[in-house]
Amino acid sequence: MLTLYDAARCPYCARVRITLAEKDVEFEAIEIDLQDRPAWIYEKNSTGRVPVVEEDGWILPESAVIMEYLEERHPEPPLLAADPADRALARLWIFRHDDLTKPYYALRRGEEDARPRLDAQLAKLADALALRPCLGGADYGLADIAYVPWILRMQQLLDVELPANVDAWVARMLERPAVAAEAGIVAAL
Ligand SMILES: N[C@@H](CCC(=O)N[C@@H](CS)C(=O)NCC(=O)O)C(=O)O
């Protein structure tokens, strides 16, 4: 049985929660209090951060790496496209996610120029979604899962108004039970 060291409010953990749900993988979640982390979490991850997964004593941190691991360990249903170019594009979005998350955290910290910086990144997402229905290409997958936790949090916790294309993409994402469940977690924060 896979164990996820988890935190409800953590969007990186949300990536893993959504991927596990999409793959229908049974797991045990251990909630970590990020304000008062147990010392032993550093034995699982030297940075002390969540998410971390553990399976038969084997430990893996880093949400982007965990998502790829789950994709390979549980290939069905696929969350990366068959076409190498589409797979590369999905990985590029994931690699560059902090273009969006840096201004998101700046807004949470109340930094003055955060809102225009965030709006500029949301406009980039909107441009991409004008060309393709999902961030990774034609089909929903890891790139969408990598971004949707922050988008849900900016909508629900920061009252950010999304560009129409991004809003429509979120509505499509919310049709997936795995993403709807995450929206429920955010609503309860
Ligand atoms: N690069 C890591 C980032 C994980 C991360 O920053 N997690 C936050 C919670 S959202 C955390 O554990 N923060 C505690 C800390 O920074 O000390 C990943 O993708 O898994």
Name all residues whose Cβ lies below 6 A of ligand 1: 7, 10, 12, 34, 48-51, 62-64
| CA–CA separation, 128 and 165 (whole Å) | 9
CA neighbor of 94 nearest in space, from 31, 19, 1, 40:
19
Output DSSP code: residue 134: B
**Among 6, 47, 62, 96, residue to substitute to test ligand 1 (most atoms within 8 Å of Cβ):** 47
Could you identify the residue written with the tokens 């849900």? 152
- Give me the helix-helix angle, 164-173 and 142-158, nearest 10°: 110
Expressed in angstroms and rounded, the spacing between residue 131 Cα and the centre of ligand 1 is 32
Work out the angle at residue 126's Cα, subtended by the Cα atoms of residues 120 and 128, and round it to the nearest 5 degrees. Answer: 110
**pTM flag (> 0.85):** yes
For residue 160, give Cα distances in angstroms to 9, 56, 132, 155, 157. 18, 41, 23, 5, 8
Write out pLDDT tens, residues 122-161: 999 999 999 999 998 899 999 999 999 999 999 999 989 9
Within the chain, which residues score under 70 in pLDDT? Answer: none
Expressed in angstroms and rounded, the spacing between residue 94 Cα and the centre of ligand 1 is 15
**Residue 136: predicted pLDDT:** 84
For residue 158, give Cα distances in angstroms to 97, 110, 112, 166, 173. 19, 11, 15, 16, 19
How much is the mean pLDDT over the chain?
A: 97
